[in-house]
Structure 1
């Protein structure tokens, strides 16, 4: 572009003869290029070196804008399955994924020529396969994902529930939390293996019952029981409280508070509070603790 501007060979789409170059005109009219350039009057001074660069930059920017505008999103077509590609991602303007190697091709490259090139290059032994072959791979891929989803939603939930039930039994028994992993789980696995087989034993082995897990489960169960009791007391019309004082092994006074309330057509009784009395056991101190 700069060489054309300096020599003056481009003027209104016409070629200047070599003999006219010696006349060195002061300005060259470049209407076809500069007529749409902002701030341009249609005349370009050849003695200004920055003028050609400005027009070149404007033209390059305009071409890039047109290319960007011309790019469009493509829709997946069912014929792409003959090349081994299925839609993945968004429902509209989705990408393509190979059912053989699971490679994902972007939406802009979702054209038959590129899909065929991928099949011929990466899977040349499958280029003569029928559509039914790729349909079977698509079905296996779909059922495999469904099986994983079913396992996550069913087996994992059952294993978590079993872990909570085991923790709920260990807490009132007063046994150490390590008993679940050291004794209970191995015994359960051997019993289930003998009675139900190896498949059922694998599901039992998925139950988490380590020391930290059991401790965390017990704390969550305790918080849930407390929230449930408070919720019942708030919704009941009336309730009664009974206080009692006890002493632990080191002689510290312990205040026990029991509560009775109607629930489900019967009278329920639960332990509402168990806390030490650090000062004395007078009525005023007990009231402060309960309040």
Structure 2
């Protein structure tokens, strides 16, 4: 018949146990609904004509009453399963009109759940359908089923103020205070100042500026920001751990492996320090990051240096490493290079060119050395 759906669509309408998607055909409308049904899609489409999100969307946003033919034309099957027991149900998304049934969205374990603003009962993600919410309202709060939407919105605002998850105002306010504390700690670390400067100078200065420019009410809000000596120290340590984790994840996700550059030296206090840089590919670009800066408390043999990086080399693919020419690094039997070759035989060892140039400069003739020093001064000046 002329008005019948196409044969392919007719086949889809007869299918059961499917996840389907409705896309609003109105131009520039982002409205999308994803649902799951164990009945035939044709019967499920008829249910949407009677009630549900699709019907409410068409009425509230486009002011027209949907029909079965309209839904069938704009619905597609996304996934099918042999039976309902093998279904991996997609997560539902909270729709703001659900507040008229007395429900707001909360978050638990990264999943959107529902909470009744009257009885405070939480419902699972699977219950996020208008029919189930309406039944809960009529069954458990029958005396409030005729209340208007503004009543439930007021109750919802009160619940959100008390909510401790990410959607609550308590969490959002606390998150801003904690973020401000981290920003101050980062500023102290970047300028290499004493941790006490935040409490003794930054906070008093901020209070003076705020009181003069904004008012005394804003000064009270600064009192809740913790910038004590211990807090700044803890924040800096937490940020350094987070940066190290990001570097580790970048190395692990690099599809071409990574290369390292390391050097061990002794400072004026006779303390041996090991510096290790890594280079890896991230977002189609080469990235170089500091991997670690660690004290070597005992000896500085090739085995001691390798022990610091042993686990990291075993967990990630090393393709090359650069060191100076010290025997502890390049010795074929007991040096760092020998130990690395044992776990990463394909890794390429490179003697640092800068160290080579430094060695060459020590035996240059006086005229060439004078010329080299002049070039160095010019480069440093520029």
Query: Greater helix share, 1 or 2?
Result: 1
Larger Rg: 1
TM-score where L is the length of structure 2: 0.38
TM-score where L is the length of structure 1: 0.48
